[in-house]
A = this chain, B = another copy of it.
Amino acid sequence: MRISGEPVYLTIVSHIKKSIMSGQINPGDMLQSENELVSFYKASRVTVRKGLQILENEGFIYAWPGKGYFVAQPIHDMFSLRFSEDESGYDISYSKINVISPNKEIQQALQIQPNNKVIEICRVIKKGIKPVSYDIKYIPYDKGTPIIEEEIHYAVFPKIAAAKSAPFAFHTNLEITAELPSETIAKLLSCSIDTPLLVVYRTFIGQEGNRIGYGKKYMIKEYGSLKATSGYMYERSRSVHQPQRK
């Protein structure tokens, strides 16, 4: 039974979501059974299930086959972080593009041997004339394979990696630290060596665990801080609570 064009399953979703958000029902409480909801909303079981599926995907509830649906435990320590290498709006000057022999750090990060060469791409990112960020990327150098244009021109990992494999076949790990710059980096960022920098280490990992790339990005305050938001991500585990019928 639709009201005002909204699909029935969305009505069910927002209705139940409201009960949860308002604290009317709480983590661990049991929802009405599918059949009860079918009667209540005068909808088919498929439609009710579609609504419940959405609530489960969004982490508000979880299903326990044979027992029922339960309100989940909210998770408040998972965050969505946006971190892009796309520096649109900034001025980029390349300081170095080289083929080098990797040092220990890079060997370990890329899981390669000392004799495997690596492409090194350095960039300085400026806001006007003021340098605000410096980044270095390392990409395994496949002897014989020509250096692709993306590597030099964009120096953006996703594009480089996509050019070397399928666009969905890799993911990334980040590590965020606070560090003081080396003298070299302080000079490049024209800051003093006691300016605290936000440093992000990034590893690009292929489908089979192979390392596609490794990079470091140094940011001064003026570049901006990293921002993250806790979406609504919740505990799906069913072992945590003693279910209670509401």
Contact = CB atoms under 8 A, between A and B. Distances in A.
Contacts of A178: 178-179, 196-199, 219, 221
For the complex formed by this chain, how many copies does it contain in all? 2
B168 A21 contact: yes
Majority DSSP secondary structure for residues of A touching B: mixed
Given A23-B167, A227-B173, A227-B175, A80 B82 contact: no
Given A177-B198, A178-B196, A221-B177, A229 B78 contact: no
Most chain B C-beta atoms within 10 Å of own C-beta, residue among A173, A174, A231: A174
Nearest to A230: B172
A179 B178 CA distance: 8
Interface string A154-177: 000110001001111101111111
| Interface footprint category on A | 35 or more
Given A79-B81, A81-B79, A23 B172 contact: no
Contacts of A33: none
Given A23-B166, A167-B26, A194-B180, A172 B225 contact: no
Contacts of A57: 57
Nearest to A86: B77
Closest 7 CB pairs of A and B: A23-B166, A178-B178, A196-B196, A172-B230, A77-B84, A178-B196, A174-B228
